[in-house]
């Protein structure tokens, strides 16, 4: 992508942030295992070059967001849930933006899903909506994608699969592209829709192709009229001008598509990105891959942007904890992720930048930025005009589920959708009172839980009781804590409770494993002891053998004493190496 | 690198508080309280003030004894709401020790011995009311005649000084005070029906009609405030709806069985404290049921028990006991009526 991302309409302008003086690239920007560094300190790297390889099935590589020199690998606060400092690759940009791309595949629709999946894994694409689950791994879980573990595990030095397996019948009916902003304040999806509707559509078509989805629903917040119009106009334009795949489909594609028709043309309003700058991502695509696409407005009321809420609204499937959209033939991908997938495939760009909203009463001029990953929050805030006097709390993510950061040296990661700088809360606002059982929390809970009861049992450390009340069904939306008149940090309790339960389950598993290991070791020790005894007996029988010569009298005596004690002195120190 | 204080999510600034909840309750109590004061004189307001001062003092003592911080809890307004609701149930000229006894029972026993705000099993105001009802049944029965058409001397005509004297000396304000006292409509109905008369004869009595009008106005004013409370979502609408619906249904059933021997549904609802209780006492979140279905059950239970006590019990109005009984059942109701978690079967 080139440097012109400005010019989009919208609440906050979309601007491109040049690389700051230093970038800090966390090796863990995704769910799963941290990447393993594959560069050396002092090494010059190109933009897009791999800095850390994926470590295992559930992991993602990390690439250089710009060309420059690797200065160090440092431990740094990255705003991780654990609060720990985690290793980051410190990069000094050289200002040259020297690219090293993967091979662009503009004809991606001719490629097999497996190839495309390995490309997504190789490009380090993860969910940009917040959870940051490696996208290839997520898609590989779809029922239509058996045995794609290799694709999900592909790292940046793996060769592309030479003989991809035959395509399997698709069983994902519906792919939902989630363009409903997950929380108030966040505007990065909106900004993307306005600036690059073509990339969103191409990404949606690409993922629909990968999954073999019968329909691809792009769910847009109904309040985002402009963005939706831009999207619809782009789709209509593409369908009108697209290359017919078969003669038979021509008629249907050129006809009016009521789904996408929006009254009034928006072409004159310059809502689409300047066509001169960049060829449309949809240029030359066959109509067949655009056919399944449909744009659906949904109410943007929080937490509608949540995956489960969206699946429920659009398909009617209510999912309990532990059940996944894929089990009902639905996949859900964030809109930014879809665009990133398209760039990774069609332009060969690894995921090295993302759109982040910098906003709140604590910044002077709120803005949407296309920022290189690894940019410290301080630089992002500076790009938004700096802190205002009211700045008092720094939040990574949205107001409901975001994490308060202790300092602004935290680097932007793949999941960083928003930097929110809030003003000070009124004094005494944090006074926690006892629960008055007003039931407000239960009224607002989208999962229909009873937060007050959950809280009661968590406080009493009755974990199983809390689990029985559906703790796992809590989607951590934070609404209950927001409305609680007693200001009980309910969300924090639930996160704590979930962590505690997971830990207990893990320790139960570990205890069992340890038990097994102990038993195995005991068996092995017994066996070793038996072997030893047998060897000893064998040696005793062998000892008189003339070839071995007679034992010295002292040794023979010692042996005799030891035998009398029932133990060979030679065994004693050798007991442990087998452990 | 700039440092920031951290706090758990969510981070939205505008938030609710217990204090706001309690202040809303007080605001919504105002219309009914003022109408009641209009009919029964300044004694109504004096009782509220007296009970509130005693409640705050007791609350402070209890908090201190329990080693808790005073400021947040004294300022939360819950003690004042308790005192207010309790005082509304007192006869306006009741001597001061009724308020004191009631508040000791409510704040010390009903609230703090159970662990303070949020932990009490029983509604403190109703604990206080029940205790004074049992200890001082005679004083509690002495309601003065309501002011209004046909009343020769209502307590509404007493001056504030006379009212204060009456309350703090425990003596009637004037030699003729006994003539002022008048049974509440529920009392009247009770005595009347016990003596074998019919409802129609009762309704023909002037004092009954007059008292009934006064109480109907008061109930309407409390209902107005109560609806406001529901609209502000401080109270859940299900509980009052359940109380009222159950009262009407049971009243109609009784009338179908024998219209002459039973108080009609409208009088059941509008005379006595049922409306006040439905909107302001049964909706007390701490001591009521909290699940949506549980609230229906809770309200229905309050209404059914109240009517049963009115009909068969020893007290003319059984609201306090009905509420306390349902309070005891609330935890069980909650357990039996969990809402369905999204995506799960019941
Ligand atoms: S909102 Fe807060 S005070 Fe009300 S029931 Fe829930 S936890 Fe208790
Ligand atoms: S955070 Fe609270 S409101 Fe949201 S799902 Fe969990 S319990 Fe329900």
Query: What's the start-to-end Cα distance of chain A, in Å?
Result: 57
pLDDT on residue A175: 92
Residues B210/B216/B217/B222 CA torsion (nearest 10 deg): 150
pLDDT on residue B239: 93
- Burial code of B51-82, b = ≥16 C-beta within 10 A, e = fewer? bbebbbebbeebbeeeeeeeebbbbbbbbbbb
Task: Report the alpha-carbon angle A62-A63-A64, nearest 5.
Answer: 135
Closest residue by CA, ligand 2 atom 4: A477
Q: A403 alpha carbon to ligand 2 midpoint, in Å?
A: 16
Pocket test for ligand 1, best of A443, A488, A491 (most atoms within 8 A of CB): A488
The edge-to-edge listing of strands for the beta sheet with A85-93 is A23-26, A85-93, A68-77, A44-45
Task: Report the alpha-carbon angle B323-B328-B334, nearest 5.
Answer: 105
**Which tokens go with A176?**
């939902």
Q: Do A404 and B16 touch (CB under 8 A)?
A: no
Pocket test for ligand 2, best of A456, A491, A495, A496 (most atoms within 8 A of CB): A491
Pocket test for ligand 1, best of A448, A451, A456 (most atoms within 8 A of CB): A451
- Burial code of A4-18, b = ≥16 C-beta within 10 A, e = fewer? ebeebebebbbbbbe
Ligand 2 in reach of A484 Cβ (< 6 A): no
Q: A20 alpha carbon to ligand 2 midpoint, in Å?
A: 38
Q: Do A448 and B342 touch (CB under 8 A)?
A: yes
Contact with chain B for residue A307, Cβ under 8 A: no
Chain B nearest C-alpha distance from A393 (Å)? 6
Cβ–Cβ contacts within 10 Å for residue A112, how many? Answer: 15
Closest partner residue to A485 among B18, B290, B344, by Cβ?
B18
For A127, A197, B103, B226, the CA distances from A522, given in Å and listed in that order, are 46, 64, 70, 73
Closest partner residue to A429 among B10, B15, B340, by Cβ?
B15
What is the spatial distance between Cα A210 and Cα A111, in angstroms, rounded to a whole number?
9
| Locus of tokens 């992508």 | A1
Cα diameter, chain A: 111
**What is the H or E stretch that residue B298 is in?**
helix B292-312
Chain A nearest C-alpha distance from B339 (Å)? 6
pLDDT, tens digit (0-9, with 9 covering 90-100), for B76-135 = 889 999 999 999 988 888 889 999 999 999 999 999 988 888 888 999 999 999 999 889
The average confidence (pLDDT) of chain B is: 84
pLDDT, tens digit (0-9, with 9 covering 90-100), for B24-60 = 999 999 999 999 888 888 889 999 999 999 999 999 9
Cβ contacts of B38 within 8 Å, gap of 6 or more: B147, B156
Phi, psi of A15 (to 5 degrees): -125, 150
**Ligand 1 atom nearest to A436, measured from its CA:** 3
Closest partner residue to A437 among B15, B118, B338, by Cβ?
B118
**Which tokens go with A126?**
């993860």
**Ligand 1 atom nearest to A486, measured from its CA:** 3
pLDDT on residue A146: 47
Q: A532 alpha carbon to ligand 1 midpoint, in Å?
A: 68
The whole-model pTM stands at: 0.67
Contact with chain B for residue A473, Cβ under 8 A: yes
What is the spatial distance between Cα A117 and Cα A115, in angstroms, rounded to a whole number?
5
Contact with chain B for residue A432, Cβ under 8 A: no
Ligand 2 in reach of A286 Cβ (< 6 A): no
**What is the H or E stretch that residue A364 is in?**
none
Chain B nearest C-alpha distance from A302 (Å)? 13
Contact A364, A384 (CB under 8 A): yes
pLDDT on residue A462: 86
Q: Do B21 and A438 touch (CB under 8 A)?
A: yes
Closest partner residue to A318 among B3, B20, B342, by Cβ?
B342
Pocket test for ligand 2, best of A449, A452, A455 (most atoms within 8 A of CB): A449
Closest partner residue to A478 among B9, B18, B76, by Cβ?
B9
What is the spatial distance between Cα B172 and Cα B157, in angstroms, rounded to a whole number?
14
Of all residues in chain A, the one with the smallest CA distance to B74 is: A433
Cβ contacts of A374 within 8 Å, gap of 6 or more: A23, A24, A25, A26, A65, A88, A89, A91, A411, A412
Q: B292 alpha carbon to ligand 2 midpoint, in Å?
A: 17
**Ligand 2 atom nearest to A448, measured from its CA:** 8
Length of chain B: 346
What is the spatial distance between Cα A517 and Cα B21, in angstroms, rounded to a whole number?
58
Q: A398 alpha carbon to ligand 1 midpoint, in Å?
A: 22
Closest residue by CA, ligand 1 atom 2: A484
- Burial code of A233-259, b = ≥16 C-beta within 10 A, e = fewer? bbbbbbbeebeebeeeeeeebeeebee
pLDDT on residue B153: 43
Contact with chain B for residue A35, Cβ under 8 A: no
| Locus of tokens 């804590």 | A481
Q: A456 alpha carbon to ligand 1 midpoint, in Å?
A: 10
Number of A to B CB contacts under 8 A, please give it: 164
What is the spatial distance between Cα A110 and Cα A574, in angstroms, rounded to a whole number?
63
Closest residue by CA, ligand 1 atom 7: A452
Closest residue by CA, ligand 2 atom 2: A480
**What is the H or E stretch that residue B162 is in?**
helix B160-169
What is the spatial distance between Cα B216 and Cα B85, in angstroms, rounded to a whole number?
18
Spans of chain B below 70 pLDDT: 13-15, 145-158, 172-184, 316, 344-346
Instruction: Decide: residue B34, CB within 10 A, 0-12 exposed, 13-18 middle, 19+ buried.
Output: middle
Closest residue by CA, ligand 1 atom 1: A484
Q: Do B18 and A312 touch (CB under 8 A)?
A: no
Cβ–Cβ contacts within 10 Å for residue B138, how many? Answer: 6
**What residue ranges line ligand 1, CB within 6 angstroms?**
A 435-441, 451-452, 455, 483-486, 488, 490
How far from the centroid of its chain's Cα atoms is residue A327's Cα? Answer: 20
Residues of chain B positioned with their CB less than 8 A from the CB of A425: 13
DSSP string, A211-265: HT-SEEEEEEETT-HHHHHHHHHHHHHHHHHSBPSSHHHHHHHHS--TTT--SS-
Provide Rg for chain B, Cα atoms: 21
- ipTM metric: 0.80
pLDDT on residue A375: 95
Residue of A397, A353, A375, A569 lying closest to A491 (CA atoms): A397
What is the spatial distance between Cα A178 and Cα B209, in angstroms, rounded to a whole number?
66
Task: Report the alpha-carbon angle B58-B63-B64, nearest 5.
Answer: 100
Contact B144, B169 (CB under 8 A): no
Residues of chain B positioned with their CB less than 8 A from the CB of A324: none
Mean pLDDT, consecutive 10-residue segments, chain A of 579 residues? Answer: 33 83 92 90 94 89 95 89 85 91 91 92 90 87 58 40 40 87 82 90 93 90 83 87 48 37 33 48 84 87 79 83 81 92 94 93 92 95 92 87 88 92 70 85 87 90 87 87 87 85 78 86 87 82 53 69 61 44
Q: B289 alpha carbon to ligand 2 midpoint, in Å?
A: 20
> Sign of the C-alpha dihedral, residues B235, B237, B242, B244?
positive
Contact with chain B for residue A450, Cβ under 8 A: yes
Contact A168, A382 (CB under 8 A): no
Closest residue by CA, ligand 2 atom 5: A474
Of all residues in chain A, the one with the smallest CA distance to B6 is: A404
Q: Which of A24, A431, A441, A483 to mutate to test the interface with B (most CBs of B within 10 A)?
A: A431
What is the spatial distance between Cα B333 and Cα A56, in angstroms, rounded to a whole number?
50
Closest residue by CA, ligand 1 atom 5: A437
Chain A nearest C-alpha distance from B39 (Å)? 33
């Amino acid at each position: 992508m080139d440097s012109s991302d400005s010019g989009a309409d919208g609440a906050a302008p979309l601007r491109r942030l040049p690389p700051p003086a230093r970038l800090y690239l966390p090796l863990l920007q995704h769910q799963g295992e941290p990447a393993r560094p594959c560069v050396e300190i002092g090494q010059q790297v190109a933009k897009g070059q791999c800095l850390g390889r994926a470590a295992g099935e559930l992991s993602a590589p990390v690439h250089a967001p710009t060309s420059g020199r690797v200065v160090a690998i440092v431990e740094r606060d990255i705003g991780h849930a654990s609060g720990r400092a985690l290793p980051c690759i410190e990069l000094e940009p050289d200002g040259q933006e020297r690219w090293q791309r993967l091979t662009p595949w503009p004809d991606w629709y001719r490629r097999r899903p497996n190839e495309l999946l390995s490309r997504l894994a190789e490009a380090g694409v993860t969910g940009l909506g917040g959870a940051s689950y490696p996208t290839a791994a997520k898609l590989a879980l779809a029922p239509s994608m058996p045995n794609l573990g290799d694709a999900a595990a592909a790292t940046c030095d793996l060769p592309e699969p030479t003989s991809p397996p035959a395509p399997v019948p698709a069983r994902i009916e519906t792919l939902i592209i989630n363009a409903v902003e997950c929380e108030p304040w966040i505007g990065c999806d909106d900004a993307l829709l306005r600036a690059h509707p073509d990339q969103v559509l191409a990404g949606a078509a690409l993922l629909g192709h990968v999954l073999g989805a019968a329909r691809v629903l792009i769910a847009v917040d109904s309040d985002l009229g402009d963005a939706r119009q831009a999207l619809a106009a782009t789709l209509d334009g593409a369908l009108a001008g697209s290359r017919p795949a078969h003669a038979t489909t021509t008629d249907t594609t050129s006809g009016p598509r009521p789904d996408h028709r929006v009254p009034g043309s928006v072409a004159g309003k310059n809502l689409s990105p300047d066509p001169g700058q960049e060829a449309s991502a949809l240029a030359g695509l066959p109509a067949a891959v655009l056919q399944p696409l449909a744009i659906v407005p949904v109410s943007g009321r929080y937490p509608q942007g949540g995956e489960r809420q969206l699946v429920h609204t659009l398909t009617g499937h209510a999912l309990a904890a532990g059940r996944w959209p894929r089990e009902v033939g639905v996949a859900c991908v964030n809109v930014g992720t879809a665009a990133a997938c398209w760039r990774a495939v069609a332009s060969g760009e690894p995921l090295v930048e993302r759109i982040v909203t910098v906003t709140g009463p604590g910044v002077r001029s709120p803005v949407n930025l296309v920022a290189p990953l690894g940019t410290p929050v301080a630089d992002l805030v500076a790009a938004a005009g700096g802190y205002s006097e009211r700045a008092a709390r720094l939040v990574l993510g949205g107001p409901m589920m975001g994490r308060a950061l202790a300092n602004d040296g935290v680097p932007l990661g793949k999941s960083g959708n928003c930097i929110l700088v809030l003003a000070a809360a009124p004094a005494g606002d944090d006074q926690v009172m006892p629960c008055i059982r007003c039931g407000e929390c239960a009224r607002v809970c989208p999962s229909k839980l009873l937060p007050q009861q959950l809280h009661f049992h968590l406080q009493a450390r009755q974990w199983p009781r809390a689990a029985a009340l559906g703790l796992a069904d809590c989607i951590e939306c934070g609404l209950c804590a927001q409305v609680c008149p007693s200001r009980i940090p309910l969300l924090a309790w639930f996160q704590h409770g979930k962590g505690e339960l997971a830990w207990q389950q893990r320790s139960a598993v570990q205890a069992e494993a340890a038990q097994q290991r102990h038993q195995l070791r005991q068996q092995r020790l017994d066996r070793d002891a038996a072997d030893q005894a047998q060897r000893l007996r064998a040696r005793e029988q062998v000892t008189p053998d003339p070839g071995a010569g007679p034992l010295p009298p002292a040794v023979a005596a010692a042996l005799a004493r030891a035998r009398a004690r029932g133990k060979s002195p030679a065994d004693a120190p050798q007991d442990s190496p087998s452990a | 690198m700039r440092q920031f204080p951290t706090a758990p999510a969510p981070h939205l600034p505008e938030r609710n508080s217990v204090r706001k909840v309690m202040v809303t309750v007080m605001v919504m109590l105002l219309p009914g309280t003022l109408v009641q004061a209009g009919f029964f004189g300044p004694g109504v307001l004096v009782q509220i003030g007296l009970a509130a001062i005693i409640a705050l003092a007791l609350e402070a003592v209890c908090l201190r004894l329990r080693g808790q911080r005073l400021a947040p809890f004294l300022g939360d307004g819950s003690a004042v709401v308790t005192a207010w609701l309790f005082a509304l149930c007192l006869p306006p000229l009741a001597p001061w020790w009724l308020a004191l006894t009631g508040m000791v029972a409510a704040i010390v026993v009903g609230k703090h011995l159970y662990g303070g705000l949020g932990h009490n099993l029983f509604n403190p105001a109703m604990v206080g009311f029940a205790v004074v009802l049992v200890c001082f049944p005679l004083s509690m029965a002495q309601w003065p005649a309501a002011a209004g058409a046909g009343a020769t001397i209502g307590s509404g005509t007493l001056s504030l000084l006379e009212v204060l004297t009456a309350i703090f000396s425990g003596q009637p304000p004037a030699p003729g005070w006994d003539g002022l006292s008048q049974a509440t409509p529920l009392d009247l109905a009770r005595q009347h029906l016990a003596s074998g008369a019919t409802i129609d004869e009762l309704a023909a009595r002037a004092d009954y009609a007059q008292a009934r009008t006064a109480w109907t106005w008061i109930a309407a004013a409390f209902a107005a405030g109560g609806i406001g409370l529901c609209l502000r979502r401080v109270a859940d609408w299900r509980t009052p709806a359940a109380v009222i619906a159950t009262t009407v249904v049971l009243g109609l059933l009784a009338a179908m069985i024998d219209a002459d021997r039973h108080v009609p549904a409208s009088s059941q609802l509008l005379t006595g404290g049922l409306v006040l209780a439905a909107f302001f006492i049964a909706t007390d979140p701490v001591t009521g049921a909290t699940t949506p279905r549980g609230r229906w059950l809770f309200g229905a239970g309050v209404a059914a028990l109240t009517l049963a006590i009115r009909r068969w019990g020893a007290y003319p109005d059984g609201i306090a006991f009905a509420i306390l009984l349902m309070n005891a059942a609330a935890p069980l109701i909650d357990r039996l009526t969990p809402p369905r978690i999204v995506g799960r079967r019941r």
